[in-house]
Amino acid sequence: MVDILAENLSGKAVMSADGTELGDLYNITMDLKSGELADLLVSPHEHLSPERSGFDVDEMGRLKVPVANVQAVKDYIVVAR
């Protein structure tokens, strides 16, 4: 697997595997004890209803996409729903 710096991911568009644009990457959360990445926090696009996205939502309305759902990182971050 290729290493990618987090600073290169900030603001990158996030898309589901079915081609739906979910939003832009806001941040990545991690477990401070283990160092394991937990969730991508995604600022949803205006046309997307966060409640119908299939992902949990934080208190600011951002999607919480588990890191395990990431399928590819290229022009977009592609995630499974």
Interval 14-47: pLDDT, tens = 999 999 999 999 999 999 999 899 999 999 998 8
User: How would CATH label the architecture of 12-79?
Assistant: Roll (2.30)
Is the pTM of the predicted complex or chain greater than 0.95?
no
Beta bridge partner(s), residue 25 = 42
With 50 as the cut, is the pLDDT of residue 5 above it?
A: yes
d(CA 7, CA 49): 27
Greater model confidence, 50 or 55: 55
- Which segments within 1-81 are labelled E, that is strand? 13-16, 21-30, 37-44, 56-57, 63-66, 70-73, 77-79
With 80 as the cut, is the pLDDT of residue 4 above it?
A: no
28-36 long-range contacts (CB < 8 A, ≥24 apart) are 28/67, 29/64
Mean pLDDT for 50-77 is 92
CB 50 within 8 A of CB 61: yes
Q: What is the pLDDT of residue 79?
A: 96
Domain ranges of the chain: 12-79
pLDDT band at 1 (very low <50, low <70, confident <90, very high): very low
